[in-house]
Amino acid sequence: MSTDSRSRAWRWLRPVLIAAVTWFVGSALFAPWLNPWLTWKMQRDGETIMLLQRAHIDLMLAREEAHSDWLIEKRWPKEARVPGVHDPAEAVWTIDVPAEFEVRFRYTDLFPAHSGLRGTALILRIDPQTQVWSCRPGTPAPPASLTPMDCRVSQPWTLVDVLTLVLVLAFVAMAGVAVLVFVARPAAILSIRDPQRVLRHPLEGLPTLDRHLGWLRHRSQLLLAAGVPTIRWREALRHVADDAEHRATRLATRIEARSIRAKDWALPGHVHAWTLPASLPVALERLWLYQPDPTLPAEDIVRRLRELPNGQDVVLVLSPSVDHDTALRAFANDPANLCVCADQATQTEWLLQPSATDVLVNLLARQLRVTRISPYQTRGGVTRPSAFFGRESLLARVLHREPGNYLLVGGRQLGKTSLMKAIERRFEGHPRVCCHYLSLRDHRLFERIAADLRLPADTPIDALVDALAERAGGRRLLLLIDETDLFMRHEAQHQYAQLNALRALSEEGRCHFMLAGFWDLYEAAMLDYASPIRNFGEIIHLGGLERDACVALATEPLARLGVRFTDATLPEFLATTCGQRANLVAIACQQVLEHLERHQRLVDPRRLHQALQSEAMADALAGWARLSPDPVACQIDRILVYRVAQAFHAARSDAAPITLASLLADFDTAGIALEAEMLRRSLARLQLAYVLKRENDGEHVVFAVPLFASQFHAGEVDALLGRELASLGDALRGQDG
Amino acid sequence: MTTIDMDDATGRVAGCTLPNFDVMPVSDFPDLLAQHMRRIRASAAGVASEIGISREAVNNWRQGQSLPNRKHRDKVLACANYLRLTEVETNQLLASAGFEAEFPVEATRTPAATTTSRPATPAAVSALFDRLQQLRPYPVALLLTQAHWGQPPERAAMLAEAEARYGSSRVLHLQPPFSAEPAADTYFAALAHQCGFTGVDTDHAFEAELARLLRHPGPLFCLVSRFEQGAPAQRDLLAGILRSLSEMFSGQLHVLICGGAALADLKYQGGDLSLLNIAASESWPELTVADVQRMALPQAVDPATADRALRLSGGHPLLASAGLTLLHESPSESDDALVEQLASHPPLWQAFLPLLETPAHRTPIREWLAKPRLAPARPYLLDPLLRSLYWHNLLVARRHADGLWLEWRCAAIREAGLLIARSLDDAQA
């Protein structure tokens, strides 16, 4: 017999047993003639039964004799007897007349002692008007179980009787509650005791729980304590009864996802394609929701899931019943697949918790490789709001003012695009400002705008702005133009023709601009005194991220995945080592995640060190060798970097720190007559690129990112520096020649 | 003193017997050249200006009046690039002129096999696509390969895998034309032709067509091989188009850009192309015994022989191929003898000679040749000379207790380097 059928039988047997026990105890106390045990016991006593039958006949005869005497004599006889019984030793009754119209029958010693009848009495009385006999127990009264039916007359209740009744009723009430507990199942009681349990009650059991809570009059109180609004509770109850389509839509709505019925899936059941919102704090854009056919055994569903072709999309499987939970969960817990199982309890949580998104994220983090959903974006402009940290003061400068022109200058991978995208996101749906992001790929700004608006390439800028204004619907226009270096380079060579048009548009208040770029933009804005861009707009220098934001970037996304640092100082150390560069912090954290073992959730110093020494980090640190289109300028840049690296490796031997003067002296020593202005520009470029920084009141030049030094091997820096100096000497002599 | 005689039409190096590389008859070169020129309607003047020789020389080649000089393998290779030849066609053209193949020969698949079921995808290809599809929000990757790997390696398997994953109508293969001309119209017209777009001759029109494809449901895969070749201005435009489409259609455009040294320079030195900045770098994995066995197909090679070829070649694809041939011809030959023969393999000489010819380079290279390991390996090597040796596929990054270090791939390569350096020293003396 299986466990299931045993428990089902017990479910029925239990109340039957309780009822039987209650009946037995109750009848023994109040209706012994109905009590099977007492009845059985009495029926086993044949002698007493036989005597009782004889006593009954004798009683009838004696009664009729007394009645006849009264009718004949017209007065009630002084004594009564059983006709025909002369030997008192054979008599079952001793009969006397206690009062007029009454006859008292007392059981003789002929009855066995154990019957309890000896000496007990019954009193029969005739009503002279109606001539109807009545019977009542005498003193002492025979046992209730042996008292004839017509002699069981009620008597006024004594105090003992009342107290006994109260006691019995209390017992019955307790028994009733006990029965209720068993019938209503422990869940209701446990939920009342701990309201949070209701959030993880199996989905399929919610209607029953709801009914029982209703019986116990605890529903509202419990929902209040659990923090579940009634409307959400009702939705959850409706969800249980809904069809697959409505279920998918309701669950998707709870996380602001879009659900579309998917076809062409061989899986038995229903599949929906979900597009997840950008606000989801993990990197997952979409998933497949699978609601299996509930009639299929769990093993069959797992087999079919295993047979799915290896895709890159996550499949979220909704367990159709508690019976399916274990097998589906075990399959989903295997990190080798991309299946996630929402068991019955999780589905309830999804519907009842204030944030269903948290439920989904926890589920994904538990059952998938964390790298699959890592929220860290290590390349390109950050597109997900949850992956963008800090820059609050810069954002406030742009967002909380009237639209104006801005020049956003900073090195590569420092977050210019991320900041512009954050600005675009914040202005989304703004009542007064319409913001538009545009990434240039060459100098042709107007053609780019035209292509974006799907207008002919030769459309004049006025018409383009008119088209943009029409699209903005009366709101003020702010155009965010990214990657403007090639544009600025071209403009510098062509008298800033396009830039003058932009300036005119902004002066007319028709459109404002934020231009983002690196060296060419910086050069035009800061170093070219003839450039019309000098007063074009406010210059925003983009450097490292704020320290707190760096720490938040290092800890918060990890925490969402259930990962944390063993030591609270590690995130601070990470921020310092990465020079507060957001992309490096993100890469380090991503590397940490990639090397975490399954179920490991702690990041120790050794693991962090490994991440900082990883190839991905080295890859991100490369790419500084050609910051300018001018090859000579690049050579000077490289020489400065090698010189600082040389000083870094010699730091232990108390080598003199690098200063502008020492750098000039180095060039002189190498026989290179370098103009101080070229060196100053080079330093400015490397500072803007966040390769070098000045410290000690701007006197000493050091690496902006301490980790940057790790890409130079002590032994090779001298050789590289020597070769670059020689090459620069040749190049400059060639120019002079 | 050993003299280097590269003028032997059979590709022999003096004093060394080179393995048989299935050299095609020399007389095929004019026909092949003419056929490939006709295919893209290239003129002799066009070819001549692209590869830096006279128009008459090209005409002489085409008419069979002369063959490329032994020193002009690079010209023939440039010609193959200009004519947009595939790896197999390039190898055939080089072989027909008496040169070594540039790319390892991929295992050919029988038509029956392609029509009935897709052959098993090499693990490296499948892993590469897995990683590409996981990149967010920009699925853009650079596949950097050292010399003598195909562009891309395992091209057929890659395209088959792409079609299996994305659907055949969602796979584009862009091979930028080899042209130094700055004209955008011919560049983008050629790309549009490869994509099957009609009436496209500007960058904007090309971008609009790609955008149209991206508006259809499902991701679009774009394989770009030899990205670094061609005019820089057009290349930058193409990069910009792919970058802005990646932005506009987040996660929809999957791009795999294949290249070698020049592509690495573009990414790590420049940083101007934000497409490359947002791209993840991927390296083609080192050869395995299974790969070597597959290279030998249709000939069956036992694992021990494949392992020996792999060890002798240090994972260099052409040396592995040559090693297989040598082992097939004389399996009982000692390792030392085989190393000596492999050290004379022409591609090694072609890689070493230009570097060692410069006296300033010879000293550091000679010092490195004496060392078991040269320098720490990094994604981008700062030393240009070391970088050049690496991209010529003479060096390999191998893991040690203190990290990844650059080493000479194999003893044959070190032998070749020492031999050439000595020869040049002697010649100068």
pLDDT in tens, B11-47: 333 333 333 334 334 458 888 888 888 777 778 888 8
Chosen for mutation from A264, A384, A441, A627 (greatest number of chain B CBs closer than 10 Å) is A441
- Average pLDDT in chain B: 82
User: Given this model, what pLDDT does residue A322 score?
Assistant: 93
Is B375 within 8 Å of A618 when comparing Cβ atoms?
A: no
Is B136 within 8 Å of A441 when comparing Cβ atoms?
A: no
Mean pLDDT of B241-270: 86
User: Given this model, what pLDDT does residue A253 score?
Assistant: 95
Is B130 within 8 Å of A483 when comparing Cβ atoms?
A: no
Q: Does B399 touch chain A (CB under 8 A)?
A: no
Q: Does B359 touch chain A (CB under 8 A)?
A: no
Closest CA to A536 of A551, A552, A517, A557: A517
Residues of B in contact with A483 (CB under 8 A): 240, 274
Reported as a single tens digit per residue, the pLDDT across A675-708 is: 889 999 999 999 999 999 998 787 899 999 999 9
Q: Does B405 touch chain A (CB under 8 A)?
A: no
List of E strands, B244-377: 253-259, 280-283
Residue of B nearest to A383 (CA): B137
Q: Is the dihedral of CA A420, A421, A427, A433 positive or negative?
A: positive
- The length of chain B is 429
User: Given this model, what pLDDT does residue B17 score?
Assistant: 33
Distance from CA of B131 to the nearest CA of A (A): 10
Instruction: Tell whether the model's pLDDT for residue A401 goes beyond 50.
Output: yes
Mean pLDDT of B241-260: 88
Is A312 within 8 Å of B130 when comparing Cβ atoms?
A: yes
User: Which residues partner with A701 through β-bridges?
Assistant: A694
Is A383 within 8 Å of B250 when comparing Cβ atoms?
A: yes
User: Given this model, what pLDDT does residue B46 score?
Assistant: 80
Tokens found for residue A681: 């520009």
How far, CA to CA in Å, does B211 sit from each of A346, A465, B4, B31, B198? Answer: 41, 23, 55, 41, 15
Closest CA to A245 of A289, A204, A189: A289
Reported as a single tens digit per residue, the pLDDT across A303-315 is: 988 888 766 789 9
Classify burial at A545, counting beta carbons within 10 Å of its beta carbon; exposed 0-12, middle 13-18, buried 19 or more.
buried
**Rounded to whole angstroms, how far apart are CA atoms B146 and B317?**
10
Local confidence band at A186 (pLDDT 50, 70, 90 cut-offs) = low
User: Given this model, what pLDDT does residue A509 score?
Assistant: 87
Choice between A348 and A175, residue whose per-residue pLDDT is larger: A348
User: Given this model, what pLDDT does residue A3 score?
Assistant: 62
User: Given this model, what pLDDT does residue B24 score?
Assistant: 38
Mean pLDDT of A257-273: 89
Residues of A in contact with B138 (CB under 8 A): 379-380
Of all residues in chain B, what percent carry a pLDDT higher than 90? Answer: 30
Interface of B with A in 112-151 (CB under 8 A): 130, 133-138
Reported as a single tens digit per residue, the pLDDT across A89-148 is: 888 889 999 988 999 999 999 888 888 888 999 999 999 888 888 888 888 888 877 888
A283, A371, A442 ranked by CB distance to B240: nearest = A442
Instruction: Tell whether the model's pLDDT for residue B381 goes beyond 80.
Output: yes
Q: Describe the crossing of helices A244-254 and A344-352 by its angle, rounded to 10 degrees.
A: 60
Distance from CA of B176 to the nearest CA of A (A): 18
Reported as a single tens digit per residue, the pLDDT across B134-169 is: 888 899 999 999 988 877 888 888 999 999 889 999
Is A285 within 8 Å of B244 when comparing Cβ atoms?
A: no
Is A283 within 8 Å of B136 when comparing Cβ atoms?
A: yes
Q: Does A74 touch chain B (CB under 8 A)?
A: no
Q: Is the dihedral of CA A438, A441, A443, A447 positive or negative?
A: negative
Amino acid at A677: E
User: Given this model, what pLDDT does residue A579 score?
Assistant: 94
Closest CA to B103 of B225, B208, B205: B225
User: Given this model, what pLDDT does residue B2 score?
Assistant: 33
Choice between B8 and A523, residue whose per-residue pLDDT is larger: A523
What's the pTM value of the predicted model, to 2 decimals?
Answer: 0.74
User: Three-state secondary structure along A353-372?
Assistant: CCCHHHHHHHHHHHHCCHHH
User: Given this model, what pLDDT does residue A349 score?
Assistant: 95
Mean pLDDT of B305-311: 93
**Rounded to whole angstroms, how far apart are CA atoms A178 and A579?**
68
Q: Does A622 touch chain B (CB under 8 A)?
A: yes
Choice between A578 and B103, residue whose per-residue pLDDT is larger: A578
User: Given this model, what pLDDT does residue B115 score?
Assistant: 42
Choice between A646 and B43, residue whose per-residue pLDDT is larger: A646
Residue where the block lists tokens 């008599």: A91
What is the count of residue pairs from A and B with beta carbons less than 8 Å apart? Answer: 99
User: Given this model, what pLDDT does residue B163 score?
Assistant: 92
Residues of B in contact with A622 (CB under 8 A): 268, 378-380
Interface of A with B in 570-609 (CB under 8 A): none
Q: Is the dihedral of CA A347, A351, A356, A359 positive or negative?
A: negative
Q: Does A709 touch chain B (CB under 8 A)?
A: no
Reported as a single tens digit per residue, the pLDDT across A370-395 is: 888 888 998 888 888 888 999 999 99
Instruction: Tell whether the model's pLDDT for residue B89 goes beyond 90.
Output: no
User: Given this model, what pLDDT does residue B114 score?
Assistant: 41
Local confidence band at B181 (pLDDT 50, 70, 90 cut-offs) = low
A379, A439, A485 ranked by CB distance to B247: nearest = A439
Reported as a single tens digit per residue, the pLDDT across A416-445 is: 999 999 999 999 988 889 999 988 888 889
- Reported as type and span, the H/E element at residue A515 is strand A512-517
Q: Does B290 touch chain A (CB under 8 A)?
A: no
Residue of A nearest to B166 (CA): A311
Q: Does A718 touch chain B (CB under 8 A)?
A: no
Mean pLDDT of B112-117: 43
Distance from CA of A626 to the nearest CA of B (A): 5
